[in-house]
Structure 1
Amino acid sequence: MLSFKDVYHLSTHTRGIQQPDMKFDTVSIFSDELQSKGLFIPIHDKNLDQAIENGAIAAVWLNNESVPNYTPNHFPVIFVDDLVSAFHQLCEEYTRKLKQEECETMTKFIFYSPELLNAQAFTYDIAVEEEKDEFASLLENYIESKRRG
């Protein structure tokens, strides 16, 4: 499972509470998705209030952008130079982590929406789709190995 410690090293600075053992059940780029114990990365939209309402317990935010005034002072915000790069690094590191250690619970990554694909046929480029498929395959293999014992 992804933890605050796994995300912290991507940052230039942070605000709010910093608990290295804080675990994230989900990582989402969509504020309108349910994200229990979620890490919100505002690539798709910047509605932090909606993400918090939907369960986000921390956010990754751009260095040069102000965090909305309504954000609670204790709410963890990890500042980065590039959101897409930070999200990509998290995906890669989490994939490596899964290959190296056995996890009883896994973090769910919400990074594409079937509704968007239906609206526009070319929403995601081929590289992202291949990476998504590779990540899904890794997760399926992990689940299958757990079933076998």
Structure 2
Amino acid sequence: MTPQTLPYTGYDGLAYDRDELAHVMRATYDEIIDFVTTPEFKALMTEMSALSPVERPRFVFDVLLNDEALASRGIVAPEGLLIQRSAFGDRRPTLFVVKKFLPEEYKNVWQNVNITFDNAFVDESVGRDPETSWRVPLPADVQAAAMARGKELETV
């Protein structure tokens, strides 16, 4: 009897393969997309977009991170969906992310999926050089405070 050989999936020793993980990730993204494309959430984004880039970090704190303020606009995040500040090492002016953790059995490969919402910025203002773009992110609250003061994040 010869051992049966399975095709290499790059996930040796795991109880699932790449296709299964991709399916779970896609389904989780779809949950986030369903939430951020509701009329209520789109109206919230229109409201925020009408503000100046300097005013938006405060709006995120006052409204997007406030369940009561969201509820007053008809928005209730589904169970497991998180809205939180985020920051990246490349200093993109990220305002917030909508995120959901994958089921526990997949966290040994991938923790979560998210959709990131950035503040307005000129693409050339974000470094693409590996030496600067892969640095430790600023703490999200420090980044938000810098954006609220109109500071270029590269200078922080």
TM-score > 0.5 by shorter chain: no
TM-score bracket, normalised by the shorter chain, equals under 0.3
Query: Comparing both structures, which one devotes a greater share of its residues to strand?
Result: 1
TM-score, length of structure 2 as denominator length:
0.25
Which structure has the larger Rg over C-alpha atoms?
Answer: 2
